[in-house]
Amino acid sequence: MQTPAPTDYVRATSVANAIALLEEHGEEARILAGGHSLLPMMKLRIARPEMLIDINDLDELRGIRVEGDELVLGAMVTHREVLESPILSEHYAIFREAEKVIADPLVRNRGTVGGSMCQADPSEDLSAVGSALHGTVVIRNSSGTRTVPLREFHEGPYETKVGPAEMLTEVRFPIRPGSGSAYEKVERRVGDWAVCSAGVFVTVKDGVVADCGIGLTAVSAEHFCAPAAEAFLIGKAPSEENLRAAAKMAGDASDPSSDQRGPADYKKHLAEELTFRALTRAASASQGA
Amino acid sequence: MQVTMNVNGESITRDVEPRKLLVHFIREDVELRGTHWGCDTSNCGACTLWVDGEAVKSCTVLAAQADGHDVRTVEGMETAAGLDPVQQGFIECHGLQCGFCTPGMMMTARWLLDHNPHPSEEEIREAISGQICRCTGYKNIVEAIQWAADHPATSEVNA
Amino acid sequence: MTAVEEVPISPAGNPIGFGNMKRVEDQRFVRGQGNYVDDVNLPGMLHGAILRSPFAHAKINGIDTSAAEALPGVVAVLTGAALEAIPRPSLLGDNFAWMPTLSYDTQAVLATDKVRFQGQEVAFVIATDRYIAKDALELIEVDYEPLEPVMDAKRAMDADAPIIRDDKGQTDNSITDVHGDKTWESGNAIGTAEAIAAAEADPDCVVVTQEIMYPRVHPSPMETCASVAQMDKVTGQLTLWTTSQAPHAHRTVYAMVAGLPEHKIRVISPDVGGGFGNKVGVYPGYVLSILGTIVTGKPVKWVEDRNENLVSTSFARDYHMTGKIAATKEGKILAVDVDVLADHGAFNGVAQPTNYPAGFFHIFSGSYDYPNAHCKVTPVYTNKAPGGVAYACSFRITEAVYLIERMVDMLAAELEMDPAELRLKNLLRPEQFPYTSPTGWVYDSGQYELTMREAMRIAGYDELRKEQAEKRARGEYMGIGISFFTEGVGAGPRKDMDILGLGMADGIELRVHPTGKAVLRLSVQSQGQGHETSYAQIVAHELGIAPEDIEVVHGDTDQTPFGLGTYGSRSTPVSGAAAAVVSRKVKDKARLVAAAALECSPDDLEWELGRWKVKGDPERGKTIQEIALLSHGSLELPEGVEGHLEAMTVYNPPNLTYPYGCYICVVDVDPGTGQVKVRRFIAVDDCGTRINPMIVEGQVHGGLADGIGMALMELIAFDEDGNCLGGSFMDYLLPTAMECPDYELGETVTPSPHHPIGAKGVGESATVGSPPAVVNAVVDAISPFGVRHADMPLTPANVWRAIQGRPVRVDLAVE
């Protein structure tokens, strides 16, 4: 069994304290939330922080609630809480559909929304969900907070706009009455990273797509989304022909690499196919709603 | 650093390095060796135990994180009243062969049944989907858990 | 559960004989009280860790261990150079840097001149703590000079390919076996070639040719390999706790390799967390822990990571096969020819009997009646880990069965004939047994059609074909795959079968205590097969002693007789036979004692379970328990009859046994994504007498999961730089409960005529028989797209590519 390199450990007593500790220890400190992204990397000795700042005591970072016309998730909300949340499932089916295919039940007990977002794996399913829904994150530092749209959050693989002495504290999603949503994932086996996933919402009004969001992961779509495909679909009827055309554009927005999960053209094909299937179900749900 | 945690109802205090994984702590510092490990990448679930009543992969938790918390392992399943129905179910239904993944499977089974006393076959399979067995092909593990769900009382347990 | 015969039930509720008995070993396992090697902790014990090569092929120009040695807590660091300096007082090799393999090749314990596979052992750190040992690995500096690696067996024999075994003075990468041959052939080469040529020229015949790969996979038991070595300098006794499927064989190997006196070596396999052939070989880690305890004077524990297990221990398969099958257009098989290129990795470490360099691959002619078959197997070196015979292969029978069952399915497709119908036309008939195959195997017994029809009945085969037709019309793709396999297990007759010169006959000892309880000491080694339960049942069946009154001892060379261990499904055929034979010896002895006690002739006695009684006067008799006490007592025994009630025997099997079965797999394929869902898996096995049906079924369940894994997701691939792409469970994917269906099992029972209780063994049957059933099903599902073959693993990407008509080498990195 692989073991981490030596490190130090402290428990934050508040978000402010966590930020202060980050400032004190600098680049060699890492936030420890669920630990299911960080600890595996430490065990491989790819990550070698010298100080771990454990934020598991910070109840202020927990909880799922409605605030005005937004859904608000604290950074420490676990994947399991997202999966089982009646608040979230009431508004969007995509949360449960995505979480059901993220990792496994045991990992979902510990892994957090904030942790997954900040890990920013290029195959992260929640990144596709977040981009599809045009979510935002709240980032806090010692001067205050700012909000960053998820479609601007990623700077590259494993790199986000969260700076060295900053913490992500919340993820927020607009509530869209009358919308339908869906998530489609192809994986080689349960618990694996996606070969490709597509997550969408569609709001159909008066027989026409009034709004939609298309999120993609694992296929190097810029900011995990397909805005051209979305723009194409808005204002059009959700017919099979239009959904297929939008799906093709989603495929075009992907730039996957070949690896053991499959060749690039297969993944591109999946981006198209899964977007089509997700759009079909989401549009149907919106019209049934 | 020093950590103190409640392990199977007993308060345990030990000195550890911050990097020490909970699975190693339980096995080596607390000398409870029923919890096993089988991989490096949090995939196999042989290390599954409970922290604060939740089934977790103890290879992906630091002992430091469990400081001040409640830990339960397979050694805590049997009580004075006898084996847990999950344990008995695994015996009744041949739900184990080499026994290496078994403690983890049983800890997840008990956690599942505590939350969902009458799970469907699909729910059982999903609950253990983060754990690997190389011997049983899972069919008898599923039946063992179903047996435990059907026999919640332990009055007829064989020793 | 299957129906069982009426057997008396003991006071503890166990069958006195064959039947479903709950396992004795479960009592400790469900309490977390198993004792695996990593559970062994001794006072003063140190921890070893191995530094492994990041390169698949590189010269070593120097190793600097000074920083590692200076780390607090590090006790010693060994390198190949240090081992080279220790001369070995034995016949096998010059020094301790190299050790013999089970195929009479040599393997480096620690690299000296070069590294030859990624993950090869380069240095060994011994420290006070597992974490410190790992820290020390990072402080060792190795000056590597990378060389071009050979990662493709098809390239290994190119004239310009780098030479891997220059340490042996080789001028190419061919492997010469212990008999001096570079290839191995079996069967009738001329007759087969003529039959195939004739069929090619005959318009009423067809010949189907196909390249089929069985890619490199890995047994991956949940417990990785480990050892704790303790040398007592005062007594000279070496005790080794280790994950071994063959403790006695390992002990003899250590004696030969290390020049240690064999009577001073004790090998203990405590509980083993799965073996599947992964724990047959002797690994450098075990040898290093032994050297470590000798060097430090303290016990040394070595436990490998999962990464180490996957990249360095015995892999399985890696066979590039080209099959040719000739048949009449009516569907009568005429001949099968196979050419195999075998990738053995950097050292030839295949584990099989000496006379069989390609194992039992030549059973590929399968379960069908035809006169001409021939195979040629050519092994080569590559820059990959050594091994090859592992993962429940029954010595390459997995490869053989996969080959023939794929060829038969492709023949069915070519003839546009239902694959069940084609098999039924060709299956061996009961009256043909014992049957000598074209490659010389003597199959002991079989009722093949009976078994196949039972599988078809359980599956509802005709309904499935109807459903398939309806679905195809709607553009939905389901597949039905059949596999009919014949295994040869229970190696084996000692005149034909030995490993490293150790004949494959096994000893056993049975002692009945004065109070009538018994202890049975086995040479075989359970890694989950339930021997403590099933062997007690064999003795119970023979002697009528309740199973709970029989203790089964295994796993400790000090406590058990010599034998070759458990792999290749050999326990029941060999040691199970031995258990029956030794019980009968005890029973015969008991008869003599009973006769003395009853003052009659032994011929006046007849047996009923547990008791010798006087013919015609059944009230007069003696139970086994009474006889046990009498035999230890003061009763005067006749001339030539010694006291006590015990026996031992060494069972030399007269032949292998041939379990067989028919499996049917039903899959649904999503052509838009390539995803495969296994909907149903029907398995009808015939392993002869079933000692404990519950245990038999458990063995089958496990093997069916293996087939799903290999067919759909398991793969150890390499990129052209030599990087192993299957080095963790994130990449080496194993099936979970979600990928496996609820299996549907059936049985037929055709005893082995030469086995004392008619049992054939079953441990590997399902791993052998299941992969072709799954692959046949997937190919069947996507055959409307013109697919006639696709190599494992049939991941979604590979299925999609097959549908697109794009061939792909599964074992190389994706382009």
Domain containing residue B16: CATH number: 3.10.20.30
**For domain A8-54, is the CATH number 1.10.3720.10?**
no
* Within a domain: B66: yes
C8: phi then psi, degrees, rounded to nearest 5: -65, 150
Same-domain check for residues B39 and B7:
yes
Cα-based torsion angle of the residue sequence C760, C766, C767, C770 in order, rounded to the nearest 10 degrees: 140
Same-domain check for residues B49 and B99:
no
Same-domain check for residues B90 and B140:
yes
The Cα of C306 is separated from the nearest Cα of chain A by a number of Å equal to 7
B149 close contact with A: CB closer than 8 A? no
Q: What's the token pair of residue A226?
A: 């397909």
* Within a domain: B157: no
CATH classification at residue B115 = 1.10.150.120
Q: Render pLDDT for C521-566 as a digit per residue (tens, 0 to 9).
A: 999 999 999 999 999 999 999 999 999 999 999 999 999 999 999 9
Mean pLDDT of chain C: 96
Q: Which letter does DSSP use for residue C622 in this model? A: E
The mean pLDDT value for A78-99 works out to 98
A chain contacts of residue B37, beta-carbon cutoff 8 Å: 1
- Helix, strand, coil % in chain A, rounded to nearest 5: 40, 25, 35
Whole-number pLDDT of residue C813: 86
Q: 3-state class of C730 per DSSP? A: coil
Same-domain check for residues B130 and B99:
yes
C730 close contact with B: CB closer than 8 A? yes
Q: Which letter does DSSP use for residue C174 in this model? A: B
Whole-number pLDDT of residue A1: 56
Signed CA dihedral, C592, C596, C597, C603: sign only: positive
Q: Render pLDDT for C428-445 as a digit per residue (tens, 0 to 9).
A: 999 999 999 999 999 999
Residue of C nearest to B142 (CA): C737
Q: Render pLDDT for A5-20 as a digit per residue (tens, 0 to 9).
A: 999 999 999 999 999 9
Q: Render pLDDT for A148-172 as a digit per residue (tens, 0 to 9).
A: 999 999 999 999 999 999 999 999 9
The Cα of A231 is separated from the nearest Cα of chain B by a number of Å equal to 38
Residue of C nearest to A276 (CA): C672
Same-domain check for residues B23 and B72:
yes
The Cα of B68 is separated from the nearest Cα of chain C by a number of Å equal to 24
Helix (H) or strand (E) holding C80: helix C80-84
Interface subset of B 13-42, CB within 8 angstroms of C: 17, 19-20, 24, 27-28, 32-36, 38-41
Give Cα separations from C37 to A1, A42, B74, C286 (angstroms).
14, 26, 19, 12
Whole-number pLDDT of residue B126: 98
The mean pLDDT value for C290-301 works out to 96
Q: How many CB pairs under 8 A join B and C?
A: 173
Helix (H) or strand (E) holding C63: strand C58-64
CB atoms within 10 A of CB C6: 8
Same-domain check for residues B62 and B119:
no
Same-domain check for residues B67 and B90:
no
Q: If pLDDT is split at 50, 70 and 90, which confidence band does C87 have?
A: confident
Which residue of B28, B31, B39, B128 to mutate against C (max C Cβ within 10 Å)?
Answer: B39
C720 close contact with A: CB closer than 8 A? no
Mean pLDDT of chain A: 97
Whole-number pLDDT of residue C89: 60
| Parent domain of B125 | 85-152
A46 close contact with C: CB closer than 8 A? no
C308 close contact with B: CB closer than 8 A? no
Q: Render pLDDT for C629-654 as a digit per residue (tens, 0 to 9).
A: 999 999 999 999 999 999 999 999 99
Whole-number pLDDT of residue C93: 59
Give Cα separations from A246 to A195, A235, A237, C285, C554 (angstroms).
20, 12, 12, 57, 66
Which of residues B76, B98, B123 is at a domain's end?
Answer: B76
- Spatial distance between the Cα atoms of C771 and C787, rounded to a whole number of angstroms: 18
Q: What's the token pair of residue C495?
A: 């005149």
Signed CA dihedral, A12, A18, A21, A27: sign only: positive
B chain contacts of residue A105, beta-carbon cutoff 8 Å: 55, 108, 126-127, 129-130
Which of residues B76, B101, B120 is at a domain's end?
Answer: B76
Cα-based torsion angle of the residue sequence C589, C594, C595, C599 in order, rounded to the nearest 10 degrees: 150
Q: What's the token pair of residue C451?
A: 């078994």
CB atoms within 10 A of CB C306: 23
**C808 or A287: whose pLDDT is higher?**
A287
SS3 track for B76-144: HCCECCECCHHHHHHHHCCCCCCCCCHHHHHHHHHHHHHHCCCCCHHHHHHHCCCCCCCCCCCHHHHHH
CB atoms within 10 A of CB B154: 16
Q: Could you tell me which residues are beta bridge partners of residue C108? A: C98
Is residue C66 scored above 60 in pLDDT?
yes
Q: Do A186 and C733 touch (CB under 8 A)?
A: no
Q: Do A110 and B40 touch (CB under 8 A)?
A: no
A269 close contact with C: CB closer than 8 A? yes
User: β-strand A196-205 against A179-186: which pairing, if any?
Assistant: antiparallel
Same-domain check for residues B68 and B10:
yes
DSSP one-letter string for C291-344: HHHHHHSS-EEEE--HHHHHHHS-EE--EEEEEEEEEETTS-EEEEEEEEEEE-
Whole-number pLDDT of residue C90: 57
The mean pLDDT value for B83-103 works out to 98
The Cα of B28 is separated from the nearest Cα of chain A by a number of Å equal to 14
Q: What percent of chain B has pLDDT over 70?
A: 96
Whole-number pLDDT of residue C727: 97
Which of residues B33, B52, B76 is at a domain's end?
Answer: B76
Whole-number pLDDT of residue A82: 98
Helix (H) or strand (E) holding C543: helix C531-543
B24 close contact with A: CB closer than 8 A? yes
- Spatial distance between the Cα atoms of C88 and C690, rounded to a whole number of angstroms: 47
The Cα of A100 is separated from the nearest Cα of chain B by a number of Å equal to 9
B chain contacts of residue C39, beta-carbon cutoff 8 Å: 27, 33
Q: Render pLDDT for C188-200 as a digit per residue (tens, 0 to 9).
A: 999 999 999 999 9
Q: Do C223 and B98 touch (CB under 8 A)?
A: yes
Whole-number pLDDT of residue C2: 46
C126 close contact with A: CB closer than 8 A? no
Q: Which residue from A189, A260, A277 is facing C717, i.e. has the nearest CB?
A: A260
Yes or no: say if C395 and C359 are a contact pair by the CB < 8 Å rule.
yes
Whole-number pLDDT of residue C1: 41
Q: Do B18 and A8 touch (CB under 8 A)?
A: yes
Counting as contact any 3 or more CB pairs under 8 A, the partners of A are: B, C
The Cα of A39 is separated from the nearest Cα of chain B by a number of Å equal to 6
Whole-number pLDDT of residue C256: 82
Is residue C462 scored above 90 in pLDDT?
yes
C677 close contact with A: CB closer than 8 A? no
* Within a domain: B159: no
Q: For B118, left (φ over 0), alpha (ψ -120 to 50), or beta?
A: beta
Cα-based torsion angle of the residue sequence A56, A58, A59, A64 in order, rounded to the nearest 10 degrees: -80
The total number of structural domains that make up chain B: 2
**B159 or C335: whose pLDDT is higher?**
C335
Yes or no: say if C383 and C57 are a contact pair by the CB < 8 Å rule.
yes
Same-domain check for residues B35 and B92:
no
Q: 3-state class of C388 per DSSP? A: strand
Yes or no: say if C328 and C334 are a contact pair by the CB < 8 Å rule.
yes
Q: Which letter does DSSP use for residue C57 in this model? A: S
Residues A179-288: name the CATH superfamily.
CO dehydrogenase flavoprotein, C-terminal domain (3.30.390.50)
The mean pLDDT value for B39-50 works out to 98
Signed CA dihedral, B6, B12, B18, B21: sign only: negative
Same-domain check for residues B57 and B35:
yes
Residue of A nearest to B112 (CA): A105
Q: What's the token pair of residue C483?
A: 């596999």
Domain ranges of chain A: 8-54, 59-174, 179-288
Same-domain check for residues B72 and B128:
no
C487 close contact with B: CB closer than 8 A? no
**Residue carrying structure tokens 């006690």:** C597
Q: What percent of chain C has pLDDT over 70?
A: 98
User: Starting at the edge strand that comes first in sequence, how are the strands of the sheet with C114-115 ordered?
Assistant: C114-115, C58-64, C141-146
DSSP one-letter string for A47-60: ---SEEEE-TT-GG
Residues near C240 by Cβ (< 8 Å), separated by ≥ 6?
A: C227, C228, C229, C230, C250, C254, C265, C266, C267, C268, C286, C289, C290
B120 close contact with A: CB closer than 8 A? no
Same-domain check for residues B90 and B133:
yes
**For domain A59-174, is the CATH number 3.30.465.10?**
yes
- Spatial distance between the Cα atoms of A265 and A36, rounded to a whole number of angstroms: 31
Is residue B155 scored above 60 in pLDDT?
no
Q: What's the token pair of residue C760?
A: 């054939």
ipTM above 0.90, yes or no: yes
